[in-house]
């Protein structure tokens, strides 16, 4: 029996509504990315109060609205600064694209459940850590406290509403993840220092960042995150060394790789678990 016209219309309407939800989610994520960009810029410029970042490295602010998705600059603003004729930096654009796509994917992955908001809050903090690590190779203590606060909220609510990416509700899941990653990175730092004759191969800020990140995601995802971060850091270091961009004595900030590893673990934790258990 062929489906009726009403069924087809209902199916089409459902598909259009779903597409609209993802578009709105992308724009909401882009707005969050704008907020992350403002906070990151204020931190990098050491501002004491929340201020509007300039649109160009020359300091001009142009005619931008106070908060709007940087995506819209492609339609609202020219990408060449009218003051100095330089191309405007694309860091805010990249931040908002990543968070927009990330929020849309998390809705697809988790639906409108607590996991969505916990995972997206963590993604915003990881984006801040990534940009701060790339720009200054430094992790502020205030960011560590935000991670710790989010981890405590996740831990408490996991007792009431199971958080899927924590996998289980055992009380020791998150503390073991934090302590385990801390010990592992300390051992790696000492080993790296012994080989390279440096003070610390991995900075204390990076170790603290990974510990509180692991506290937020549990020990299973922490294992995947640290594996991905170490692999990507090794690959990036080798490529930069071969290309002559960095010398053997130069250090490479680890926090951006922590952020990428943790984000990928949150996005694809089920696939990673199935892949790992399938290999075992």
Radius of gyration of the chain (CA): 21
pLDDT of residue 1: 45
pLDDT of residue 64: 43
pLDDT in tens, 105-148: 999 988 888 788 889 999 999 999 998 888 887 888 888 999 99
Q: 132: closest CA among 91, 181, 169, 170?
A: 91
Q: Which has the minimum average pLDDT: 31-40, 65-74, 196-205?
A: 65-74
pLDDT of residue 105: 93
Please, which residues have CB within 8 angstroms of residue 81's CB and are 6 or more apart in sequence? 55, 56, 58, 60, 62, 87, 88
pLDDT in tens, 166-209: 777 788 899 999 999 999 988 888 887 777 666 667 888 899 99
Beta strands in the chain (DSSP E): none
Per DSSP, the three-state class of 199 is: coil
Q: What is the mean predicted confidence (pLDDT) over 232-247?
A: 85
pTM for this model (two decimals): 0.82
The residues facing 80 across adjacent strands are 87
pLDDT of residue 62: 47
Share of the chain above pLDDT 90, in %: 29
pLDDT of residue 167: 74
Please, which residues have CB within 8 angstroms of residue 40's CB and are 6 or more apart in sequence? 95, 128, 131, 132, 135
Per DSSP, the three-state class of 87 is: strand
Angle (CA) 230 169 224, round 5°? 10
Per DSSP, the three-state class of 42 is: helix
pLDDT of residue 43: 73
């Amino acid at each position: 029996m062929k489906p009726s016209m009403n069924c087809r219309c209902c199916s089409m309407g459902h598909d259009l509504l779903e597409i609209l939800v993802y578009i709105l989610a992308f724009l909401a994520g882009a707005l969050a990315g704008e907020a992350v960009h403002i906070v990151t810029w204020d931190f990098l410029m050491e501002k004491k109060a929340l201020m509007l970042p300039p649109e160009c490295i020359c300091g001009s602010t142009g005619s931008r609205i106070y908060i709007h998705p940087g995506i819209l600059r492609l339609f609202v603003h020219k990408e060449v600064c009218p003051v100095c004729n330089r191309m405007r930096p694309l860091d805010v654009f990249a931040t908002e694209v990543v968070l927009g796509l990330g929020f849309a994917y998390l809705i697809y992955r988790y639906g409108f459940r607590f996991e969505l908001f916990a995972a997206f809050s963590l993604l915003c903090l990881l984006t801040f850590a990534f940009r701060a690590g790339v720009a200054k190779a430094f992790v502020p203590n205030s960011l560590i406290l935000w991670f710790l606060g989010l981890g405590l909220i996740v831990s408490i609510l996991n007792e009431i509403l199971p958080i899927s990416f924590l996998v289980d509700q055992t009380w020791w899941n998150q503390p073991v993840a934090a302590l385990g990653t801390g010990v592992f990175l300390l051992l790696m730092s000492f080993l790296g220092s012994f080989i390279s004759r440096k003070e610390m191969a991995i900075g204390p800020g990076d170790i603290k960042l990974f510990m509180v990140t692991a506290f937020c995601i549990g020990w299973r995802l922490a294992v995947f995150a640290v594996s991905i971060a170490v692999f990507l850091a090794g690959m990036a270091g080798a490529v930069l060394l071969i290309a002559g961009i960095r010398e053997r004595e130069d250090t490479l900030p680890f926090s951006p790789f922590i952020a990428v590893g943790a984000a990928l673990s949150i996005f694809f934790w089920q696939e990673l678990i199935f892949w790992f258990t399938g290999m075992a």
